[in-house]
Amino acid sequence: MSLNIDHVTKQFGQYKAVNDLSIQVPKGEMFGMLGANGAGKTTTFRMMLGLLDPSEGSITWDQQKIDYSRTGLIGYLPEERGLYPKLTVKEQLVYLGKLKGMKKPDILREAEKWLDLFKVPEYLNKKIEELSKGNQQKIQFIAAVLHNPELLILDEPFSGLDPLNVDLLKQAVHQLKDEGTTIVFSSHRMEHVEELCEYLCILHKGSPVVHGRLKEIKQAYGKKNIVIRADYSLDFLRSFSGVTKFDQHSSGARIQVDGLETAKQIFKEISEKGFVERFELEEPSLHDIFVEKVGTSYE
Ligand SMILES: Nc1ncnc2c1ncn2[C@@H]1O[C@H](COP(=O)(O)OP(=O)(O)OP(=O)(O)O)[C@@H](O)[C@H]1O
């Protein structure tokens, strides 16, 4: 079972909001869709859910087209939050749970479980309008997962949350993944996707500029970063063959090299020159990869 996006394009008039996107997400994996404002993330999600038809290509879950309004298998946290301010959290969740075909005792059990996990059990009888925006977002997240969906689609789930609540939500998402839920989420923050996802796609003006398995993307990129600290000047590395970037810090240097062979040569060279306090090879960040592909910073 998998989510399969096959050569999907979405055109609004002459404008291509999504351009030839192909992705596969195996069941039980977490997939991150990255992109700046207007990159095409929400449009892709709407097509996944069957709310919009692709102009070209197809999207299937378990080899079938998704019809979000008919199936209880999908959970969706939309970008525009839509809760009823005058209802209590309990009334709101019971209403939304029933739309998904759940019975009231099951809804209440799940609602209490999630409110406990978010450390706000007392919210059950509060009105939505009494809650802060971030806390309303937690309720909207609970509404998306109440019925234990197979496939969960979260549009910017972390936006507007403080760091503590970002951590709580990450914990919730991990828990769902461990239970076998397939999760797709969008973000404009590379570090969220880097931390959580095995699979990802970076959309830039509708086109996928980087996509696939995070590990393989990093391996294919080839370049490595090295943090070095030594008790002598590292300035000679600026012109060392294979060094593609050099940043001097008060406590050493951070350089980028074209591959492992150059890293080994540098290690040999500096070890012979004197005492090396630190030599640490780092994976390239997604940000590094994006800048190289697109030639501009993401934000
Ligand atoms: N119904 C529509 N008609 C015309 N253009 C649209 C429509 N929906 C989206 N677009 C355009 O398609 C592009 C992609 O929009 P989309 O909402 O998918 O981006 P996004 O990556 O989700 O951005 P954000 O991070 O700002 O939510 C935008 O330029 C937007 O104006």
43 close to ligand 1 (CB < 6 Angstrom) = yes
Last residue of a domain, one of 191, 218, 245: 218
Mean pLDDT of the chain: 90
Please calculate the CA angle 70-74-78 and round it to the nearest 5 degrees: 100
pLDDT confidence tier of residue 13, bands split at 50, 70 and 90: very high
Last residue of a domain, one of 218, 252, 273: 218
Shared domain check, 57 and 22: yes
Spatial contact of 5 and 57, defined as CB atoms under 8 Å apart: yes
Last residue of a domain, one of 200, 218, 236: 218
Ligand 1 pocket test target in 12, 21, 46, 158 with most atoms within 8 Å of CB: 12
Ligand 1 atom closest to the CA of 39, numbered from 1 = 21
Distance, in Å, from the CA atom of 128 to the CA atom of 135, rounded to the nearest integer, reads 9
Say if residue 181's pLDDT is above 90.
yes
Nearest CA to ligand 1 atom 26: 37
d(CA 80, ligand 1 centre) in Å:
13
d(CA 79, ligand 1 centre) in Å:
12
**Considering the domain boundaries, does residue 294 fall inside one?**
no
- Lowest average pLDDT, out of 32-46, 64-78, 143-157, goes to 64-78
21 close to ligand 1 (CB < 6 Angstrom) = no
Question: Residue 97, SS3?
Answer: helix
Q: What is the 3-state secondary structure (H, E, C) of 128-170?
A: HHHCCHHHHHHHHHHHHHCCCCCEEEECCCCCCCCHHHHHHHH
Q: Which CATH number belongs to the domain containing residue 275 in this structure?
A: 3.30.70
d(CA 167, ligand 1 centre) in Å:
28
| Top-confidence residue, 15 or 274 | 15
Ranges assigned E (strand) in the chain: 2-12, 15-26, 30-35, 56-61, 74-77, 151-154, 182-187, 199-204, 207-213, 224-230, 243-249, 252-257, 276-282
Q: Work out the average pLDDT over 140-163.
A: 92
Each residue's pLDDT tens digit, 258-274: 888 999 999 999 999 88
Shared domain check, 233 and 175: no
d(CA 16, ligand 1 centre) in Å:
10
Shared domain check, 240 and 139: no
pLDDT at 287: 85
**Considering the domain boundaries, does residue 297 fall inside one?**
no
pLDDT confidence tier of residue 299, bands split at 50, 70 and 90: low
Shared domain check, 182 and 269: no
Shared domain check, 82 and 175: yes
Nearest CA to ligand 1 atom 12: 17
Shared domain check, 236 and 188: no
Q: Work out the average pLDDT over 204-216.
A: 90
Residue 193 Ramachandran class (φ > 0 left, ψ -120 to 50 alpha, else beta): alpha
**Considering the domain boundaries, does residue 214 fall inside one?**
yes
d(CA 150, ligand 1 centre) in Å:
26
187 close to ligand 1 (CB < 6 Angstrom) = no
**Considering the domain boundaries, does residue 71 fall inside one?**
yes
Domain that holds residue 249: 223-283
pLDDT confidence tier of residue 70, bands split at 50, 70 and 90: low
**Considering the domain boundaries, does residue 26 fall inside one?**
yes
Candidate ranges 33-37, 53-57, 78-82, 217-221; pick with highest mean pLDDT: 53-57
Say if residue 253's pLDDT is above 60.
yes
Q: Work out the average pLDDT over 19-41.
A: 92
Shared domain check, 160 and 32: yes
Shared domain check, 251 and 212: no
Q: Which CATH number belongs to the domain containing residue 213 in this structure?
A: 3.40.50.300
Q: Work out the average pLDDT over 220-228.
A: 89
Say if residue 1's pLDDT is above 90.
no
Shared domain check, 270 and 156: no
| Total of domains in the chain | 2
Each residue's pLDDT tens digit, 184-209: 999 888 888 888 999 999 999 999 99
Say if residue 296's pLDDT is above 80.
no
Q: Does this model's pTM top 0.90?
A: no
Say if residue 66's pLDDT is above 90.
no
Nearest CA to ligand 1 atom 4: 12
Each residue's pLDDT tens digit, 92-125: 999 999 988 899 999 999 999 999 999 999 999 9
pLDDT at 188: 85
pLDDT at 82: 81
**Considering the domain boundaries, does residue 293 fall inside one?**
no
Shared domain check, 186 and 86: yes
d(CA 194, ligand 1 centre) in Å:
24
The ipTM assigned to this model is: 0.95
**Considering the domain boundaries, does residue 288 fall inside one?**
no
pLDDT at 242: 94
**Considering the domain boundaries, does residue 295 fall inside one?**
no
Ligand 1 atom closest to the CA of 206, numbered from 1 = 14
Nearest CA to ligand 1 atom 25: 37
Shared domain check, 200 and 109: yes
Shared domain check, 38 and 178: yes
